[in-house]
Structure 1
Amino acid sequence: MAAIWRELLPGAEIGREDSFFALGGTSLTLTRLHERLDTRYRGALKLVDLFRLTTVSAIATALADSGAVEPAASADLSFRL
């Protein structure tokens, strides 16, 4: 997850609780994030969800809650920074 953020937000120091928008993300960048997530976790999250799930940790938890990833894998998604 953090690797995707690094691609979309070059130069940003990304922590698991940092806000996507505070790090320089825009609605256009968020659309790109959604495209990448949707490719990997087909339909697990809607674009509108990402406007409220603005941290790596929140997205990882939502993916686990949706069943797209195992709960243990969601911890790995949010802690591998």
Structure 2
Amino acid sequence: MAEKLKVSIDRKGCISCGTCWNSCPEFFEQNPKDACSQVIDEYRIANNPGEGEVSGEFEKMVRRAADLCPVQIIHIH
């Protein structure tokens, strides 16, 4: 079984540009309360909107979203 990528978002550093949720809406979304990026419920770790796990089909898109983030607040572990 493939190991899942762990993804963390420094939500305090998010500028709400939309790059991540526009490039990979299957994993990222905009929080309706604070407008910052977050991981969608399905992929969250311990219900934390700033942490998630992904594997397989979305891995490449998540990496691309992290690379495209203008403030580089998306980290892949």
TM-score (norm 2): 0.31
TM-score (norm 1): 0.30
Choose between structure 1 and 2 for higher RCO, CA contacts under 8 A separated by at least 6 residues: 2
Structure with the higher strand share, 1 or 2: 2
